[in-house]
Amino acid sequence: MFLTKCVSAGRMGRPQGCPLANSQSGRRPGGSRRGRCDRAPRMDVEGTVAAHGLLYVTLYDGDDLVLIPNNTMLSMSARPIREPEAVDMRARLPVTVDPELVQRRVDEAVSVPTKRPPHVELEELDGQDVVVRVRATPQVPDEGGRLAHDVLKAVAGFESERGRG
């Protein structure tokens, strides 16, 4: 779940364009009146819901955890993130296979438009084998099968080389 909200800067931070002294102390320099800013305060909060507690909702924003009070959450808008099904496969290949070569072959083999370029990462070394993970997400959900076929064809070529070598 993805959340976004414009919250009151008086509670969450200082309004943009207001001097730091006015908003932090609540007073004008040299006076006793509360500081005021004519601009509307705005702070966006985005993230993926990680936990819902008695007082706070915890969101992941990248690697950061963001705690938002429940009374603030009640006035937030929420929209689900709809991602098409991605190809996420692990392959055990000979230790002599270079992960950069796997990346190039996958890039060449994929004929389906993807949201981001396919990603190959080395996961582990296991004796005479390496395990790589290949991830790719099609732009159009209906093309997931074709994308899986392309990735499988590219990676399976390394297995056929093992049999010849």
Q: Where are the chain's structural domains?
A: 2-79, 87-164
22 vs 57, higher pLDDT: 57
pLDDT of 157 reads 84
And the tokens for 85? 């099904």
Nearest to 72 by CA among 2, 1, 6: 6
pTM: 0.50
- Helical packing angle, 144-164 and 99-109, nearest 10°: 140
pLDDT of 118 reads 95
What are the pLDDT digits (tens) for 116-153?
899 999 999 988 999 999 999 999 888 999 999 999 99
Q: 12: pLDDT confidence band, cut at 50, 70 and 90?
A: very low
And the tokens for 28? 């004008």
| Calpha distance 118→102 (Å, rounded) | 11
pLDDT of 47 reads 79
DSSP classification of residue 143: G
DSSP classification of residue 16: T
What are the pLDDT digits (tens) for 48-107?
888 888 999 998 887 788 888 988 888 777 776 666 688 999 999 999 999 999 999 999
CATH superfamily of 87-164: Ferrodoxin-fold anticodon-binding domain (3.30.70.380)
